[in-house]
Amino acid sequence: MKTYLDCIPCFLRQALFASRVATNDELKIKEVLDRVGMLIKGIPMTSTPPETGRHVYAAVREITGVEDPFHDLKQKSTKKALELYPALKEITARAQDTLDTAVRLAIAGNIIDFGANPDFDIEKTIRQVLQQKPGVYHIKELKERMAEADEIVFLGDNAGETVFDRVLIETMHKRVTYAVRARPIINDATMADAEQSGIKETAKVVSSGCDAPGTILGRCSEEFKALFRKADLIISKGQGNFETLSQEKGPIFYLLKVKCPVIARHLEVSEGDIIVKGPSNQKS
Amino acid sequence: MKTYLDCIPCFLRQALFASRVATNDELKIKEVLDRVGMLIKGIPMTSTPPETGRHVYAAVREITGVEDPFHDLKQKSTKKALELYPALKEITARAQDTLDTAVRLAIAGNIIDFGANPDFDIEKTIRQVLQQKPGVYHIKELKERMAEADEIVFLGDNAGETVFDRVLIETMHKRVTYAVRARPIINDATMADAEQSGIKETAKVVSSGCDAPGTILGRCSEEFKALFRKADLIISKGQGNFETLSQEKGPIFYLLKVKCPVIARHLEVSEGDIIVKGPSNQKS
């Protein structure tokens, strides 16, 4: 997905939010905004938003000197999600359609996002997604593809959301490789966050090699790209992975919660919608 | 009022909104955002937001080539307000406290703002303000000051809001000089907008000489500054006038609707609140 004009004020908003998480020093925060302001001219509108996100959050890191501003928030998110884990398991176990319910819960977990919209309520979102009419919902095609797949790659998104992904993976009864970011960026899950979530008990966890809040294949490791290319099914969580991969061909199913008006317009759905979107030749 | 860090993403948001009103050319809009991005580094946090607003809207004008992007929206706002004029007069006439009601209606008119928050509903706002508990409400002091005042200067804000101001001025039964912006900026009222609103029938209309979305005394005409200095009462409408004058001493009463979180925090009130704020030595 290309960068839309509306993304540009949002980069500034995100830079401000992240800087405030990192420091109370208003002069340093202003310096971050100065740097991000000067970045704008160099943003090609054909690039994906997470490509700019890399530079925005690098500015936050470099100017504030805080390598991982969201470290504590990520730990809290995961802790909170682990507290919810027994309830998530029970909701899934009791469901008529366990996979459908686990998919919806995994999408609910996608609300834990300190980039797109930090003002979220996870419990409320869980209640909503279980009954919500989805914006796009290729669930039948996902189930069919999953039934046949031997090699499944699951692209994680945020810390805490990882626990919801774990519940989905446990429900799938398939061999899954779970990919995380190569280094801390926003509240995206890294290897440490995946470990804290207990994902390793149910999937092999690998780094994508990418340091952006998404999956930019050109910035991924050779090992990851080989996995990605040979996968029978790729489950891609969240906006950032969608934004960076939406032009890719392949057996990719995007699971996400629509958290900004730009994605809503791009997908022709409403903000807040839940999405399961298969390859574009998929029936709707 | 100084510029707060939150104002900075908002400048970009406003630049985007105004550019879109001016043109459909995405490349030109991007160029405006590029220019505003580069401005950020030069913004002193001690300056008031409308001082930067001047540069932001100048960028929109110069790059899009549209001198007054809000011309049509301003005309529509005034037309709409003139349609409401008979109802506003009737509400005021029937009120127990006509001046209180006219003040509240004048504050309702302040919602017509394509800078701070273009997504407004004027009829809904009118209904709200008539019963709303104000955030700050020095109405008693305003009435006392008004009763004694010979020279009253009324600082207009937006086109359309001018009609609501007209109702207030008609209710005051005082000699009033109504000041407007020297040139089009956002949807702020100019001489032409004041004329369209019929203000001239009830007040003398002058230009402040200022080309910013506020009243920067250093950029006002000598004639206006003389009027301002000798006034017994200055009624200042809206956020922009408040932001630029809040450090000034003098018999200034600020009438406004709080339309952004920055003003809300600065005044220690809530977004949406209505404000009548007299000189700081005023009792609350």
Looking at every residue in chain B, the average pLDDT score rounds to 96
Contact call for B12 and A12, based on CB within 8 A: yes
Looking at the DSSP assignment, which residues form a beta bridge with residue B161?
A: none
Question: Measured between beta carbons, which residues in chain B are less than 8 angstroms from residue A13?
Answer: 9
Dihedral of the CA atoms A193, A196, A201, A206 (nearest 10)?
Answer: 20
Per-residue pLDDT at B280 exceeds 80: no
- Quick one: pLDDT at residue B283? 43
Query: Residue A223 and residue A209: Cα distance in Å, rounded?
Result: 9
- The residue among A75, A69, A72, A71 whose CA lies nearest residue A28 is A69
- For residue range A216-251, list pLDDT tens digits in order: 999 999 999 999 999 999 999 999 999 999 999 999
Least confident of A108-112, A280-284, B100-104: A280-284
Per-residue pLDDT at A284 exceeds 80: no
> For residue B87, what are the contacts with CB-CB under 8 A and spacing of at least 6?
none
Per-residue pLDDT at B118 exceeds 90: no
Q: Nearest residue on chain B to A29, judged by CA atoms?
A: B5
Q: Shortest Cα distance from A44 to chain B (angstroms)?
A: 10
For residue A16, give the nearest of B8, B29, B38 by CB distance.
B8
Within chain A, strands assigned E span 136-137, 152-155, 176-180, 204-207, 233-237, 252-257, 274-277
- Quick one: pLDDT at residue B115? 86
Q: Chain A within 8 Å of B40 (Cβ-Cβ)?
A: yes
- Give residue A281's pLDDT band: very low, low, confident or very high (50, 70, 90): low
- Quick one: pLDDT at residue A283? 43
**Residues recorded for chain B:** 284
- The rounded Cα B220 to chain-centroid distance in angstroms is 16
Query: What is the model's pTM?
Result: 0.94
- The rounded Cα A105 to chain-centroid distance in angstroms is 14
Provide mean pLDDT across the span A44-58: 97
- Quick one: pLDDT at residue B128? 95
Provide mean pLDDT across the span B59-72: 98
Q: Nearest residue on chain B to A39, judged by CA atoms?
A: B37
Per-residue pLDDT at A117 exceeds 90: no
- Quick one: pLDDT at residue B281? 56
Question: Measured between beta carbons, which residues in chain B are less than 8 angstroms from residue A5?
Answer: 16, 20, 26, 29-30, 33
For residue B9, give the nearest of A13, A30, A38 by CB distance.
A13
- For residue range B132-170, list pLDDT tens digits in order: 999 999 999 999 999 999 999 999 999 999 999 999 999
- Give residue B119's pLDDT band: very low, low, confident or very high (50, 70, 90): confident
The stretches of A95-158 forming alpha helices (DSSP H) are 98-109, 122-129, 139-148
Q: Nearest residue on chain A to B42, judged by CA atoms?
A: A34
Q: Chain A within 8 Å of B173 (Cβ-Cβ)?
A: no
Phi, psi of A177, rounded to the nearest 5 degrees? -105, 125
Query: Taking CB atoms and an 8 Å cut-off, how many pairs form between chains A and B?
Result: 61
Question: Measured between beta carbons, which residues in chain B are less than 8 angstroms from residue A34?
Answer: 40-41
Provide mean pLDDT across the span A172-187: 97
- For residue range A19-41, list pLDDT tens digits in order: 999 999 999 999 999 999 999 99
- Quick one: pLDDT at residue A156? 98
Per-residue pLDDT at B255 exceeds 50: yes
Q: Which amino acid, B145?
A: R
Least confident of A219-223, B9-13, B42-46, B115-119: B115-119
Q: Shortest Cα distance from B79 to chain A (angstroms)?
A: 31
- Quick one: pLDDT at residue A119? 85
Provide mean pLDDT across the span B69-79: 97
- Residue A15 token pair: 């830079």
Please, what is the end-to-end C-alpha distance for chain B in angstroms?
20
Burial class (CB in 10 A: 0-12, 13-18, 19+), A150: exposed
- For residue range B199-209, list pLDDT tens digits in order: 999 999 999 99
For residue B8, give the nearest of A6, A10, A33 by CB distance.
A33
Query: Residue A166 and residue B110: Cα distance in Å, rounded?
Result: 51
> For residue B112, what are the contacts with CB-CB under 8 A and spacing of at least 6?
B77, B81, B120, B122, B158, B159, B160, B161, B187
Bridging pattern class, strands B176-180 and B136-137: unpaired
Looking at every residue in chain A, the average pLDDT score rounds to 96
Least confident of A107-121, A179-193, B48-62, B64-78: A107-121
Q: Shortest Cα distance from B41 to chain A (angstroms)?
A: 5
Question: Measured between beta carbons, which residues in chain A are less than 8 angstroms from residue B261?
Answer: none
The DSSP H or E segment spanning A32 is helix A26-39
Question: Measured between beta carbons, which residues in chain B are less than 8 angstroms from residue A39?
Answer: 37
Q: Chain A within 8 Å of B152 (Cβ-Cβ)?
A: no
Show which of residues 58-97 on chain B sit within 8 Å of chain A, judged by CB atoms: none
